[in-house]
């Protein structure tokens, strides 16, 4: 554990081509993507209930904060706000034999697989289909809770399945919806319908893509011809064809990485959901409740950091337990590539005997 250009349109003629599954040669540091490629083959005899090699990020550190915060609670009530495949819930059920855990996720496939994984703990575990930004409704009439755990962003399962459209390393429909049965627009629909200036803003604001205007202009160029990317491979090829090779070599990663992140965040309103979740937490927290959040990029981490600080300094609701984010150690980063960009922050709401000044 550790504590912590010129955007002008391209003029080169280009046709879509499908990206091969094998990434181009050269150094690539994709974090989630590399983790999914290394660790996310579905287990053949589990009905897809889990992923071989799936390891929750910063699990030991998450459990340490929970143990310390729940030390005086005999039967804690815990919310796993990003259930995914159930890795955190499984560990918490083992760590706290008297705990009751509610797992929330908007992805029906994740709920199915986690339900199979945690079936033996059915009396202490319940899964709820919902966005964590709508927790107040999802947890209505269930009282208050002693701990909340959130692992933000896309899951290994979603990245490993090409048909979900999250991965720039696997060809498939350009979907990216965490709830494929919901009413959100797909990434392909966003690219086909959104104003070019708004596309550039999305790529810049949510992906910090320096070449946002150039890429958006190339998409607009194809739309004028009645074309638009409909698969992940087509979008990757468009981006590669738009950016000169020297520019791509200087990007420090896959050239499509930032655009894919931006589209995913936009399609799923990830930052809006995070803000809504932070708004609702104080009303759902019991006295002494511990909140642990693992984030993977600066946009998420900034929201969490500022909200925790406001809860402590401006509202007097409790204490920030992490003055600096907790980072994974070298061993975990080597073992679990997904953890490379992870940052953990924790907060404890005040209890009966706490005297916390604003």
| Tens-place pLDDT, residues 245-274 | 888 888 878 999 999 999 999 999 999 999
Please tell me the distance from the alpha carbon of residue 193 to that of residue 214, in angstroms, as a whole number: 17
Three-state DSSP at 312 gives helix
User: Do the domain assignments include residue 53?
Assistant: no
Q: 50, 89 in Cβ contact below 8 A?
A: no
* Lookup result for tokens 């974090």: 31
User: Do the domain assignments include residue 335?
Assistant: no
- In DSSP terms, 285 is beta-bridged to 145
The predicted pLDDT at position 2 comes to 63
The total domain count for the chain is: 1
138-164: average pLDDT: 91
What is the pLDDT of the chain when averaged over all its residues? 86
Of 41-45, 117-121, 234-238, the one with minimum mean pLDDT is 41-45
| Tens-place pLDDT, residues 48-97 | 334 445 689 999 999 999 999 999 899 999 999 999 999 999 999 999 99
User: Do the domain assignments include residue 94?
Assistant: no
What are the tokens at 255?
A: 């050239």
Over 50: is that where the pLDDT of 10 sits?
no
341-358: average pLDDT: 82
Over 90: is that where the pLDDT of 276 sits?
yes
Chain-centre distance of CA 260, in angstroms? 13
CATH code of residue 236? 1.10.150.170
Q: Per-residue confidence at 33, pLDDT binned at 50, 70, 90? A: low
Q: Per-residue confidence at 182, pLDDT binned at 50, 70, 90? A: confident
Over 60: is that where the pLDDT of 47 sits?
no
User: Do the domain assignments include residue 22?
Assistant: yes
Q: Which domain holds residue 21?
A: 7-27+167-267
The predicted pLDDT at position 156 comes to 81
User: Do the domain assignments include residue 51?
Assistant: no
| Tens-place pLDDT, residues 101-116 | 999 999 999 999 999 9
Please tell me the distance from the alpha carbon of residue 308 to that of residue 321, in angstroms, as a whole number: 9
């Amino acid at each position: 554990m550790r504590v912590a250009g010129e955007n002008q349109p391209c003029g080169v003629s280009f046709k879509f081509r499908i990206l091969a599954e094998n990434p181009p040669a050269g150094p690539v540091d994709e974090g989630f993507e590399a983790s999914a490629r290394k660790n996310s083959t579905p287990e053949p005899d589990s009905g897809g209930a889990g992923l071989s090699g799936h390891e929750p990020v910063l699990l030991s550190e998450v459990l340490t904060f929970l143990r310390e915060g729940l030390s005086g609670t005999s039967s804690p009530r815990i919310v796993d706000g990003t259930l995914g495949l159930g890795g955190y819930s499984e560990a918490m059920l083992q760590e706290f034999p008297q705990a009751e855990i509610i797992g929330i996720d908007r992805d029906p496939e994740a709920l199915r697989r986690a339900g199979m994984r945690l079936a033996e703990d059915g009396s202490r575990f319940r899964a709820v289909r919902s966005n964590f930004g709508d927790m107040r409704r999802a947890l209505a009439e269930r009282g208050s809770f002693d701990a909340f755990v959130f692992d933000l962003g896309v899951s290994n399962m979603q990245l490993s399945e090409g048909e979900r459209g999250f991965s720039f390393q696997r060809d498939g429909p350009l979907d990216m919806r965490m709830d494929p049965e919901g009413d959100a627009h797909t990434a392909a629909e966003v690219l086909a319908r959104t104003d070019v200036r708004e596309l550039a803003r999305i790529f810049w604001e949510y992906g910090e893509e320096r070449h946002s205007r150039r890429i958006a202009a190339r998409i607009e160029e194809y739309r004028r011809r009645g074309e638009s990317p409909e698969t992940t491979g087509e979008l990757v090829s468009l981006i590669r064809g738009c950016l000169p090779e020297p520019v791509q070599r200087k990007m420090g990663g896959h050239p499509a990485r930032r655009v894919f992140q931006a589209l995913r965040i936009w399609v799923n309103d990830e930052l809006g959901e995070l803000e809504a979740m932070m708004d609702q937490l104080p009303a759902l927290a019991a006295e002494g409740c511990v909140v642990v959040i693992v984030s993977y990029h600066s946009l998420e981490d900034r929201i969490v950091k500022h909200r925790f600080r406001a809860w402590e300094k401006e509202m007097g609701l409790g204490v920030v337990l992490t003055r600096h984010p907790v980072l994974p150690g070298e061993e975990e980063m080597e073992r679990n590539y997904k953890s490379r960009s992870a940052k953990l922050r924790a907060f404890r709401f005040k209890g009966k005997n706490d005297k916390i000044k604003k």
